[in-house]
Amino acid sequence: MKKVGVAILGLGVVGGGTYRILTEKREFYRETQGVDLVVESVLELDRERALALGVPQEKIASNIAEVVYNPDVNIVVEVIGGVEAAREYVLTALNAGKTVVTSNKELISKYSHELERAARRQNAGLYYEASCVGGVPVIRTLLDGVQSNCITSMMGIINGTTNYILTRMAREGLGYEEALAEAQALGFAEADPTADVEGYDSAYKLSILASLAFHTKVPVAKVFREGMTNVSAEDIRDGEALGYVLKMLAIGKRTGNHVEVRVHPAFLKKDHPLASVNDSFNAVHLTGDSVGDIMLYGRGAGALPTGSAIVSDIIYAATHGENKYSTFKNTAAADKDISFVSDFKSAYYLRFSVSDETGVLSRIASVFGKHNISIFEITQRAKQPGSMTLVIVTHETHELAVRSAVAKINAMDFARAESILRVAN
């Protein structure tokens, strides 16, 4: 039976989960996959942590050289996080001819071109299923499941922290800050939640997924990104009354040589498959030209779900003799023939505070008309003496038209936009 030696860089939450899966299920993989996966080395500065997990003392390395120049190590798993140290370690492993498996979405989104070049040069593998959507096998699906299709669009909830926060706001009527504090107390959100709530985490993942789905490099700098920190409980209540659910979405579309990639909060109709994805769960909805619609759903983070994706890559690498690389020209910049859409089209939800006086609605409608914005529905309610809350949902229109119209209305003395959110199809 083929024996494959594995090294793990970092025994934090994900690294510890990976070690546990590999050691506890070794016999299962021998029986079902025909391969003997043996953890030959770990690089962990906290030796007590490694020993507590059951790592033999002689297998605890003190530096990266001990790992990559160990002849018994075939596959190196990087789960230390961050960018610079991880980049150095991964390049060192690849240049030594070791196949690398990583869960590092920021590293892959920013430097996959550099890492893949090193991997090709040494005929080593580079696998990163765990970098996107935790235990949900979306990358394997794109590479080995729907490759007969041209993927025309994808839409997903690919960050568990933001989904948990929005779920709590919707279910319990919590404000954003209160829901965030709860997520932090439960360990769903970091002490500094910026990467999640401002959409950076989702943008890294969308950069990776869109590149694979659309067979062209989608640099993370091309992803339109808007955070969710200004979302209010009032918006969620208004959306609920109109038949919508608010989610933090990652959206990608390709039409010919035009690619659209964006991350932002958006309303979905309650009957959309993604609308029922709650708490820390993730899901990705794909549309292919032959297969139609597919949705993948599961846990987007955690020791065992993410460890599951890592071990899946390890098994794939161990049981396939030929390494697979990108199906597109993987460079730092996008292909010069690709145009990225900035003035994308969407429907919009807008909440205004307006003066309670005759003619306000007609004046707003006039501004919208001059910007070719068509109104789909309107609701209004008393706010306080002399003012009203006006909620407008538009038909599909252009992003720049909405921004321009809102700026025009805000310059007047009778109305002020308090919230602008997109409504996804």
State residue 262's pLDDT score. Answer: 98
Residue with tokens 């779920």: 167
Q: Which amino acid is at 409?
A: I
What are residue 399's phi and psi, to 5 degrees? -55, -50
What's the number of CA atoms in the CB half-sphere (13 Å) around residue 172?
14
How, if at all, do strands 345-355 and 292-299 pair? unpaired
Which residues are 270's β-sheet partners?
A: none
Give the dihedral sign, CA 202/203/204/206: positive
- State yes or no: pLDDT of 180 exceeds 90: yes
The H-or-E segment that residue 86 falls in is helix 84-95
Smallest Cα–Cα separation from 324: which of 80, 144, 108?
A: 144
Angle between helical axes of 160-172 and 176-185 (0-180°, round to 10): 120
Q: Are 115 and 104 in contact (CB under 8 A)?
A: no
Please pick, among 98, 105, 110, 205, the residue that the annotation labels catalytic.
205
The mean predicted confidence, pLDDT, of the chain is 96
213 is written with which tokens?
Answer: 């789905």
Can you give the pLDDT at residue 32?
98
pLDDT for position 86: 98
Q: How far is CA 380 from CA 165, 339, 392, in A?
A: 27, 40, 9
Is it the case that residue 164 has pLDDT exceeding 90? yes
pLDDT tens per residue across span 209-256: 999 999 999 999 999 999 999 999 999 999 999 999 999 999 999 999
Tokens at 345, concatenated: 């089209």
Which pLDDT does position 314 carry in this prediction?
98
Residue 425 pLDDT level (bands cut at 50, 70, 90): confident
| Model confidence band, residue 42 (pLDDT cutoffs 50, 70, 90) | very high
pLDDT of 383: 86
Residue 100 reports pLDDT greater than 90? yes
- The pLDDT value recorded for residue 384 is 85
In contact, 245 and 349? CB cutoff 8 Å:
no
Domains in the chain, CATH or no CATH each: 2-131 (3.40.50.720), 138-297 (3.30.360.10), 345-423 (3.30.70.260)
CA–CA dist 157, 266 (Å, integer)? 11
CB atoms within 10 A of CB 369: 12
pLDDT per residue as tens digits for the range 330-354: 999 999 999 999 999 999 999 999 9
The verdict on whether 217 is a catalytic residue reads: no
Kind of pairing between the strands at 224-225 and 258-269: parallel
- DSSP-derived 3-state class of residue 154: strand
